[in-house]
Amino acid sequence: MESITLDDSTKQSVVKDIGDFLQPSFAQMCQKNGIPWRRGYLLHGPPGTGKTSFVKAIAAYFQLDVYILSLQDSEMDDTELQNIFMTLPQKSIVLVEELDRISVARRKSKEVSFVQNGLEQNDVKFSLCGLLSSLDGFATAEGYILIVTSNRPELLDETLTRPGRIDRKIEFKLSTKASAMKMFVKIYEGKQANVHMLAKRFGDLIPDNKLSLARIQEFLLASNPEDAITRASVHNSNCEDG
């Protein structure tokens, strides 16, 4: 979890939330009050900001299996969706990535299509009603955690993200000087005596809210901190020239 650049308060809050959900007492409370024992999270933000990495970290931290649901699969129909959600094991994660790529057609047929590379793909066999019913229908399994990711949450249909399906929405932002410095220290601490001074030089080259976590990591793949600083400096020069 330490490698995730989400702010500490949000990170700790999510970890506590999931930890509480996994407790037997929470399941008993849900059963006693007739509340479905499920939890849903929406992770949203620009590409490369660490959404999928966060899911991996959560799974590793709590030792949970992750099931990746590919809604783009042309063989995925309503029956297959229902079968999947009926048989999910307890204390597992279901991951649906880039949910914003689904375009829900507001037509009587309630067809679902995908937008890929700017083009609408119409060979999807499941319906919107089928998807919603699978997420929280009467026969849907309990005890699982649903995590969906989105690069553009404003495109998501509100019926997919309403409370009860999505319990928490967590924003992943582009990197700041402070987060870049923190990552620099984590990677090079112990390898360089003046790592904090070098981290400041590195951070000064990182514009706030312009670069993704993935891009910062590219700079830090250098074998030593001076090379990482050089990579960031070259990137800045190229941007200015462009």
DSSP secondary structure code for residue 99 in this structure: G
Residues in the chain: 242
197 contact partners, CB below 8 Å, separation of at least 6: none
Task: Give me the tens of pLDDT residue by residue for the chain, a chain 242 residues long.
Answer: 666 778 889 999 999 999 999 999 999 999 999 999 999 999 999 998 999 999 999 999 999 999 998 877 777 888 888 999 999 999 999 999 888 776 544 333 455 555 544 445 555 667 778 888 888 888 899 999 999 999 988 888 888 888 889 999 999 999 999 989 999 998 898 877 789 999 999 999 999 999 998 899 999 988 789 999 999 998 877 776 55
Cα 86 from chain centroid?
A: 23
Closest CA to 100 of 152, 46, 135: 152
pLDDT at 71: 77
Q: Write down all domains in the chain, each with its CATH number in brackets.
A: 8-171 (3.40.50.300), 177-235 (no CATH)
pTM for this predicted structure:
0.84
Alpha-carbon torsion angle 219, 59, 45, 132, nearest 10 = 150
* Cβ proximity of 66 and 92 under 8 Å: yes
